[in-house]
Amino acid sequence: MHADTYIPRRLDDQWKIGFWDVDVAAPLLFGLFMGYMSGSKFSFALCLAAGALTSRAIARIKADKHPAFAVHWLYWHLPTSPLTAMRATPPSHIRRMVG
């Protein structure tokens, strides 16, 4: 009895949209949506270009860093809210830990 079983090698990969990570594709999709909602061709092109440039900048910043770099950056730079607060880690405003 020979059965080919598939064993996944990577369980914690980031979500993808096509070939791009979600955090890189999100500004482009947001620019596409805002340009569509604006109603004119010029503003559509302007919003799409701004989204593409922002996505490109995020991709360059993320290069050769941890895969969850964007999530870590957001944790340390955005204010704590009930949605972003974690119980296992200290609040982001506490920069020095003793121990």
pLDDT value of position 21 = 84
pLDDT value of position 97 = 60
What average pLDDT does range 15-34 have in this prediction? Answer: 88
CA 94 – CA 86 distance, rounded (Å): 13
pTM assigned to the model: 0.64
* Interval 48-70: pLDDT, tens: 999 999 999 988 988 888 878 88
